[in-house]
Amino acid sequence: MNQEEILQLINAVSSSNLTAFRYKDGDVSLELECMAGFSGEGPAKVMVPSKEAGTAEKDENLSVIQSPMVGTFYAAKSEKGEPFVQVGDRVKIGQVVGIIEAMKLMNEIESDYDGIIEKISVQNKDMVEYGQPLIYIRTL
């Protein structure tokens, strides 16, 4: 699906009575959702998960902390606070690695592994999906 086709699809969904639309073709997935009170003018909310979200790492010493819910990811306790973890940090089982806000509730995300942070695949304030990889940890 090219950019022009995506824009046509957005316009078609925006001008209809649909509030949500999902499209999947192989590894490509597209989700359109109209905001509450959306008048049909301007673009709808578009979320396009990366291919990485559904791809398992081949390295057996690399473990993934996945999002247990849909919400907003926060890397620190406060806006100006230090991030819970950074690439290269050593973590222990049960250590808080981030927070996901869902329905105005702050849910601490804890590490299920002892190891070293290899990669953080989300940014502060990113919307995350259920099962989306958040943090890759090289287990010891």
Same domain for 131 and 83, yes or no, is: yes
Same domain for 14 and 31, yes or no, is: yes
* Dist CA 75 CA 45 (whole Å): 23
Please report, as a single letter, which amino acid is at residue 98.
Answer: G
**Which run of H or of E encompasses 14?**
helix 3-14
Indicate the pLDDT class of residue 29, thresholds 50, 70 and 90.
confident
pTM: predicted TM-score of the whole model, two decimal places: 0.59
pLDDT of residue 99: 97
Q: pLDDT tens, 43-56? A: 444 454 444 444 44
Which CATH number characterizes residue 111's domain?
A: 2.40.50.100
**Which run of H or of E encompasses 105?**
strand 105-110
What's the structural domain count of the chain? 2
**Which run of H or of E encompasses 10?**
helix 3-14
pLDDT of residue 53: 41
Q: Could you give the 3-state DSSP secondary structure of residue 53?
A: helix
Please indicate whether residue 27 or residue 110 has the higher confidence score (pLDDT).
110
Same domain for 86 and 44, yes or no, is: no
Same domain for 29 and 76, yes or no, is: no
Look-up: residue for tokens 């301007």?
Answer: 42
Same domain for 61 and 31, yes or no, is: no
- Starting at the earlier edge strand, list the strands of the sheet with 20-25: 20-25, 28-33, 45-47
Q: pLDDT tens, 78-115? A: 989 999 999 999 999 999 999 999 988 999 999 999 99
SS3 content of the chain, % helix, strand, coil (to 5): 10, 40, 50
Q: pLDDT tens, 59-78? A: 678 999 999 999 999 999 99
Q: Which of 117, 130, 138, 31 is nearest to 75 (CA)?
A: 117
- For residue 35, the enclosing domain spans 3-48
Same domain for 72 and 115, yes or no, is: yes
Q: Which of 72, 70, 57 is nearest to 113 (CA)?
A: 57
